[in-house]
Amino acid sequence: MASYHHGDLRRVLLSTAAEAIAESGPAALSLRELARRAGVSHAAPAHHFGDKAGLLTALATQGFDLLADALRQAGDDLLDTGVAYVGFAVRHRAHFDVMFRPELYRADDPELVAARARSGELLRGGVARRTGREPDADALAAWSIVHGFATLWLSGALPPRVGDDPEAAARTVIGRLFS
């Protein structure tokens, strides 16, 4: 049929891309493979995103928005915020994988910059509420520990002994920051 005006292609391409990246990483992503999965012509993705970097920019932007949502839902407690960060990374692996690899996308895209700023604000806010101190060093330590744990978990570098529940393990690890 190849009916024109799919109507929803942009959204479908984004979620299909997320699936593909979750399976084999951003490096293996192919626009043409994506188009095939979505049942459209090989040049359709380029129309919506310009090029591959454009697609990944959109994906990263969506990722920062999803992260902001997750952090908001976690409430005010810093420990919960940290666990939510790890939970986001595990649940939205593809987004997370792209977000912190700025060489893959256009890091100066206005929408992306705005979304990134929003999620960063929430992160810093959680730390300030907990410690009351000058948040700089504490925020950096908290962000580092949750980001590091999430990254190591996703890379499969952690020994099996850590278990299979990333959020529970994260809670233990983050706890060490306040002992």
Partner DNA sequence: GTGCCATCTTGTCAATGACAAGTTAGGGTG
Partner DNA sequence: CACCCTAACTTGTCATTGACAAGATGGCAC
Q: Minimum CB separation from its own copies for residue 179, in Å? A: 9
* 118: nearest Cα among 169, 158, 67, 160: 67
The C-alpha atoms of residue 70 and residue 124 are separated, in whole angstroms, by 14
| Residue 132 interacts with, from its own copies, DNA, none (CB under 5-8 Å by kind) | none
**Between residues 41 and 144, which has the closer beta carbon with respect to its own copies?**
144
In this structure, are residues 130 and 78 in contact, taking their beta carbons and an 8 Å threshold? yes
Distances (CA, A) of 12 to 133, 141, 156, 178: 45, 37, 29, 43
- Tokens 């925020």 belong to 139
Verify binding: residue 157, DNA, rule CB under 7 A: no
Q: Which of residues 17-56 bind DNA (CB under 7 A)?
A: 29-33, 35, 40-44, 46-48, 50-53
| Burial class of residue 109 (count of CB atoms within 10 Å of its CB; 0-12, 13-18, 19+) | middle
Contact range with its own copies by CB under 8 A, out of 7-15, 34-42, 43-51, 132-140: 132-140
Residue 5: CB minimum distance to its own copies, A: 33
Q: What is the DSSP string of 68-81?
A: HHHHHHH-S-HHHH
Residues 138-157: x/- map of binding to its own copies (CB under 8 A)? x-xx-xxxxxxxxxx--xxx
Q: Is 83 in the site for DNA (CB under 7 A)?
A: no
Contacts of 134 (CB under 8 A, 6+ apart): none
**Does 125 engage in binding with its own copies (CB under 8 A)?**
no
Contact partner, 51, from DNA, its own copies, none, Cβ < 5-8 Å per class: DNA
- Write the CA distances from 154 to 19, 21, 157, 164, integer angstroms: 15, 13, 8, 12
Within residues 160-179, the interface with its own copies by CB under 8 A covers 161-162, 169, 172-174, 176-177
Residues that bind its own copies (CB under 8 A): 24-28, 100-104, 107, 136-138, 140-141, 143-152, 155-158, 161-162, 169, 172-174, 176-177
Residues that bind DNA (CB under 7 A): 2-7, 9-10, 29-33, 35, 40-44, 46-48, 50-53
